[in-house]
Amino acid sequence: MATGEIRHRTLGLTFMLEPKRGVVLASKSLVLFGIGLVVGLTGLLGAVGAGAPVLQATGGDARLGSSESWLLLLRVLFSIAIWAIIGFGVGILVRNQAFAIVIALVFTQFLEPVLRLGAQFWDWSAQVAKFLPGAATDAFVGASVMNDLSLLDPTMPSSSEGLGIWTGLAVLLAYAVVAVFAGWLFRWRKDVA
């Protein structure tokens, strides 16, 4: 949402209609939260719609009658919406859409999992790794392969357990606020070309 307007120079028109940049930033964040909910709901409907029949056909249980499953899906939905805002903040900072996407993918899919895996060996680093964005998301959602692996190995420090659901949500929201605020502080207030 940010990189497209910066690239096509339509952000200047937005600021002409609403010169208070904080209002524009907050509005875009709220809209992105809603878009994240719609995209997340679409993805979850596709995943559950495809996965539940396969589980039923193979004798598994999709556990769709369980309130715990529905709460998990709701937390997944909200985490996707929060990540949409984090991506917006990164887009404001980086300004180049392709580069912003590459940074996000490299960090979330490669760098952070490697850091989290390596951090499990020492107590101090396991404490720090809990607060990475993916770890916070896993804690909020309540399901994580990384956390499950650390629970299976009794040699891992006890501090390698994840944050709680509400602490994970707080940390994830903090990442969204920091990303958008940093974008506002370093890029959003500057003149638009």
Residue 148 has pLDDT above 80, yes or no: no
Q: Does residue 134 contact residue 124 with C-beta atoms inside 8 Å?
A: no
For position 73, what pLDDT does the model report? 92
For position 145, what pLDDT does the model report? 63
Count of other CB atoms within 10 angstroms of residue 3: 20
Going from N- to C-terminal start, the domains of the chain cover: 2-188
For position 163, what pLDDT does the model report? 81
Q: Which residues of 24-45 are buried (b: 16+ CB within 10 A; e: fewer)?
A: bbeebbeebbebbeeebeeeee
For position 43, what pLDDT does the model report? 95
For position 158, what pLDDT does the model report? 55
**pLDDT category, 118, cuts 50, 70, 90?**
confident
Residue 190 has pLDDT above 80, yes or no: no
For position 37, what pLDDT does the model report? 96
Candidates 115, 42, 35, 128; CA nearest to 83 is 35
Average pLDDT estimate for 136-145: 82
Mean residue pLDDT across the chain:
84
Q: What is the pLDDT of residues 75-107, one digit of tens each?
A: 999 999 999 999 999 988 888 888 888 998 999
Q: Does residue 147 contact residue 161 with C-beta atoms inside 8 Å?
A: yes
Q: Where are the beta strands (DSSP E) in the chain?
A: none
Residue 8 has pLDDT above 70, yes or no: yes
For position 130, what pLDDT does the model report? 85
Provide the 3-class DSSP secondary structure of residue 127: helix
CA distance 23 to 165: 31
CA distance 96 to 99: 5
For position 62, what pLDDT does the model report? 77
Residue 167 has pLDDT above 70, yes or no: yes
pTM summary value: 0.83
Higher pLDDT, residue 156 or 7: 7
Average pLDDT estimate for 126-140: 87
Candidates 128, 12, 119, 134; CA nearest to 79 is 134
Q: What is the pLDDT of residues 23-53, one digit of tens each?
A: 888 999 999 999 999 999 999 999 998 988 8
